[in-house]
Amino acid sequence: MKRDPMKWFPWLLLLISDVLASTTDKPVGGSAVELMKKTPLIDGHNDLALRLRILYQNRLSKINLKTLNTTVTNIQKLQSGYVGAQFWSVYVPCSAQNKDALRLTLEQIDVVKRMCQTYQELELVTTSQGIADSKKIACLIGIEGGHSIDSSLAALRMYYDLGVRYMSLTHTCNTPWAESSSKQVHNFYPHVNGLSSFGKEVVKEMNRLGMMIDLSHTSDSTARMVLNISRAPVIFSHSSAFSLCNHSRNVPDDILRSLKQNNGIVMVTFHAEVLACGRKVVTVSTVADHFDHIKKIAGSRSIGIGGDYDGVDCFPEGLEDVSKYPVLIEELLRRGWTEIELKEVLRENFLRVFKEVEKEQHDSRSMNENENEIPQGEVQNPCRLDLRNNALQTAGVFPTSSGFYFVVQTLDLMFITVIYVILH
């Protein structure tokens, strides 16, 4: 019996439509999870250490970090999010500037190191090769805020020796030598603009040491000056695109272009306020828009991820904790990002920057330590001792009168002479 071909035509169209739909819905290059298994994420900024201080006074003995549920970060969630390396922020508040910021920073470094010693799933590393070789969650340390060095290059060097591999030049306050993007939040050093002459020395010493310069939280003036000075690529460890949200924390297009020339990266943050400038609905799509814009201006090689988990309280729908990174990668795949581009974003861009910073360190090995000191007048405060005027004082035991000090020395010498005569 002869069949009418037109009778089957609607069914053929429906079949073709189903095939095309299934092909379109399937993410380009496979699923996000499959991609992230091969290329685990390097995240640039997490504030778990801050939460541990606030909630538990850094008493690791009181918690189980594998299943901790009072934070949005724990080891199981990091594993579910395919995090291969995490920079832990050792942030201390700006209110500690000119007080005990240095001590508090050391305590935060201590808690990160103890985390890595306590849990076999974590491994403290300090090099790009260490990240590449690690079979665990590689842990690195970053200082958030230049107030932690107390305007001392010697302190900066000691932090490097303790494992610190990046420092944000400012947080929400000016330091005596660098301007913050949020200087109105605190009243520290209100007349600082961009980088001071000492700030330029900080940048040069970080290049020499092999410590990455983080420009998140710095003013645009500071960022532009650093990009003109630094011999090594820089990072924004947790920032987004100013053109999409005109928040002072975000990066304008002209700086994105300069960053491309510098070979540096913006590690896009998930902080809802910085992403959406007050809009009520913030989703994974909102974050992906920032990725698309930065890619358009600076290219996919200029992008990383810096979630800022446990540093803020509000995250986009679908990205509520560190287990949700694959949701973002799935969205970028859906938007047509290639596997090659996403491997760069997940891992390879950051490793390239780290290697170039290490190369600058190697090339600078013949240089001596920078012995510049900040002018005393720029850091005068009640908690800072001026050793130029106190070198011969003994913590207030004797009056500062040089005449009295001479008399005491003379009496000491006479007493020693008498004892010598008696004994001999």
Domain range annotation of the chain: 28-363
Cα-Cα-Cα-Cα torsion 334, 338, 342, 344, nearest 10 degrees, comes to -160
The tokens for 54 are 């606030």
**Residue 79 in contact with residue 120, Cβ under 8 Å?**
no
Alpha-carbon gap, residue 343 to 350, rounded angstroms: 11
Residue 387 has a pLDDT of: 78
The per-residue pLDDT for range 123-170, each reduced to its tens digit, is 999 999 999 999 999 999 999 999 999 999 999 999 999 999 999 999
**184 pLDDT band (50/70/90 cuts)?**
confident
Q: What is the mean pLDDT of the chain?
A: 89
Per-residue pLDDT averaged across 50-72, rounded? 98
Query: Is pLDDT of 281 > 90?
Result: yes
Residue 30 has a pLDDT of: 55
The tokens for 314 are 């509000």
Alpha-carbon gap, residue 27 to 37, rounded angstroms: 16
Alpha-carbon gap, residue 68 to 60, rounded angstroms: 11
Beta partners for residue 143, in sequence order: 167
Give the residue numbers annotated as catalytic, written as ranges. 45, 47, 144, 171, 217, 238, 308
**H runs (alpha helix) in 119-186:** 128-133, 153-161
Residue 14 has a pLDDT of: 39
The per-residue pLDDT for range 13-57, each reduced to its tens digit, is 434 444 333 333 343 335 999 999 999 999 999 999 999 999 999
Query: Is pLDDT of 411 > 60?
Result: no
User: Domain 28-363 is of which CATH architecture?
Assistant: Alpha-Beta Barrel (3.20)
**Residue 84 in contact with residue 347, Cβ under 8 Å?**
yes
**Residue 91 in contact with residue 308, Cβ under 8 Å?**
no
Query: Is pLDDT of 1 > 90?
Result: no
Query: Is pLDDT of 203 > 50?
Result: yes
Task: Find tokens 């400038």 and name the residue.
Answer: 277
Alpha-carbon gap, residue 246 to 380, rounded angstroms: 35
